[in-house]
Amino acid sequence: MDKQAIEALLSKIESTETASGNPRVQAIVNRIVRDLCLTIEELDIQPDEFWSAASYMTEAGRNGEWGLIAAGLGIEHFLDLRMDEAEARQGVSGGTPRTIEGPLYVAGAPESLGSARLDQDEQPGEVLFMGGQVRGADGKPVAGALVEVWQANHLGRYSFFDPSQSPYNLRRSIRTDADGRYRFRSKVPVGYSVPPGGSTDKLLKLLGRHGTRPAHIHFFVTAPGHRKLTTQINIENDPYLWDDFAFATREGLVPEMKKVEDPAALRAREVDAPYYTIEFDFGLHAEKEGLPADHIERAHFQA
């Protein structure tokens, strides 16, 4: 198509906008419409291809899969990388790396001081004890920090999204103690894949990609005077550790997991089979003017 004709159409579309609109939305939508028109032109996208894409997006929305699609296309990780760069430009670096939140956080998990048990439902799997310290940029422990933790069960499913689990199973909020310490008992998580036959699965198959995540545990760590940390730790030796469909694995987020078999230790922990331990400290950044928002506004499942 004639380039001038495309420009004329784009100008005409944009000329219908007025000052009563939102300038930010106008700028973004105009850019997206322009890029889409150029994509259609350059790739010679046919009407049936365009409308099948529109149907796909409608279906993905109905399925509530846009969070998964954003992760799977690498966009959520891209937003993390942009945040890293913005912080680095302001001289903020070090600390625990951030990584994607994913679409499965639910607010309001039971809160406790210092320690918690995450697995409230009976489930198979090996026992995991994880703990550590929350520290500020100065390396000092942060007492009263809130460590929100959520993970999947032995089938790779999350409470609330999986109605077979009780509410808040494998979800807790732990306040660090006077020494900035948190600890919890749980089960070693397993990796999981996007819902089979769902919108994300269909798209990934067309791209010749898998939709599997390595085993991981999610965290939000918040404390007054500090930037909120959104991150995950991975379980080492998972076959998908560096092949996460959501691109979320990062150096610094794969702690050593130790197996404990000593009978005296088992008795002390009140477990009847060998268990695993992970020690992991969270390093936060101090709040600073001029940085992008660390509390991300995002719609969550309402418990």
Question: x/- site string to Fe ion, residues 88 to 117, per CB under 5 A?
Answer: --------------x---------------
Q: Which is nearer to Fe ion, 142 or 160 (CB)?
A: 160
- In whole angstroms, the minimum distance from the beta carbon of 155 to Fe ion comes to 13
- Beta carbon of residue 176, minimum distance to Fe ion (angstroms, whole number): 23
Cβ at position 29, least distance to Fe ion in Å: 32
Q: Between 102 and 198, whose beta carbon lies closer to Fe ion?
A: 102
Per DSSP, helices labelled H in the chain are: 3-15, 23-42, 47-62, 66-72, 75-89, 199-206, 263-269
Task: Give me the half-sphere count of Cα atoms (radius 13 Å) on the Cβ side of residue 170.
Answer: 30
Query: Given the complex with Fe ion, which of 72 and 102 has the nearer CB atom?
Result: 102
**Which residue number, 102 or 131, has a Cβ lying nearer to Fe ion?**
102
Q: Which is nearer to Fe ion, 259 or 298 (CB)?
A: 298
Helix, strand, coil shares of the chain, percent, nearest 5, are 30, 20, 50
Distance in Å, CB of 142 to Fe ion, minimum: 25
Q: How far apart are CA 172 and CA 146, in angstroms?
A: 10
Which residue lies nearer to Fe ion by CB, 191 or 283?
191
Smallest gap from Cβ 162 to Fe ion, in A, equals: 12
Backbone φ and ψ for 60, nearest 5 degrees, come out as -60, -40
What is the signed CA dihedral for 283, 289, 290, 291, rounded to 10 degrees? 20
Q: Which is nearer to Fe ion, 67 or 102 (by Cβ)?
A: 102
Smallest separation, CB 153 to Fe ion (Å): 11
Closest chain position to Fe ion (CB): 102
What φ, ψ does residue 141 adopt, rounded to 5°? -65, 145
Q: Residue 219, SS3?
A: strand
Residues ≥6 apart with Cβ < 8 Å to 18: none
Give the H or E element holding residue 257: strand 257-260
202: left (phi over 0), alpha (psi -120 to 50) or beta: alpha
Q: Which of residues 188-227 bind Fe ion (CB under 5 A)?
A: none
Minimal distance in Å, beta carbon 216 to Fe ion? 6
The footprint of Fe ion on this chain (CB under 5 A) covers a number of residues equal to 1
Instruction: Kindly list the residues in this chain that would bind Fe ion in the complex (CB under 5 A).
Output: 102
